[in-house]
Amino acid sequence: MIITRRSFIVTGLAASLTSRASAHQTAEDWVMPEEFLPRPVRFAEEQFPGTIIVDPDYFALYFALTPTRGMQYSVGIGRGNLYESGFFTVGAKKEWPSWRPTDDMIARDPDHYGKWADGMPGGPDNPLGARAIYLFDEAGNDTFLRIHGTPEPWTIGSAVSNGCVRLANADIEALYEQVELGAPIYLLPRLES
């Protein structure tokens, strides 16, 4: 089933969330604004339970709990043309995952990413945060796209990543426990530039 933006209308969808700068330097002192907290939603059209749908224009991730009800989480998305829409499946899940920047990331910013060319172990400072859900394509190949946590929760509600979808660590921990391997994931296309 292909989901279009017109067929995917959520009751009570929050107004468009805007990016915001933050002087906060650590996750420990950050208080998530109320509009970014998870909330229950009702779907106008039935969804397959376990499905994840990301709407980049609203910085929202929806997880279908039943055909008509789900949870909405606020997310950060890929900046510029790094956001990639499409249909994927959950190919792997990892707690406190290790991370290695892609070759493209290193080529774009070697001063920042080059030092991690051999990888970074999992932990509180790791860019993938507390949990990661790995997106695979229809052929079963790892796309190197992730839905993951972040040690920078103030980036939720903005387009700053290298293509992945990020959630606050507490939110990815809750989502991670419910998502099953093989679950469908739809990253809707961006309408706004």
Number of H helices, E strands in the chain: 3, 12
Please identify which of the residues 52, 90, 164, 165 carries the catalytic annotation: 164
Please identify which of the residues 17, 63, 97, 148 carries the catalytic annotation: 148
Active-site residue, 148 included: yes
**Pairing between strand 77-78 and 159-161?**
parallel
E-strand ranges in the chain read: 10-11, 39-43, 52-55, 60-64, 69-74, 77-78, 86-95, 131-136, 142-148, 159-161, 165-166, 184-187
Which residue carries 């899940």 as its tokens? 93
Active-site residue, 164 included: yes
What is the CA 56 to chain-centroid distance, rounded? 9
Give the angle 58-84-183 at the CA atoms, nearest 5°.
80
Residues noted as catalytic: 148, 164
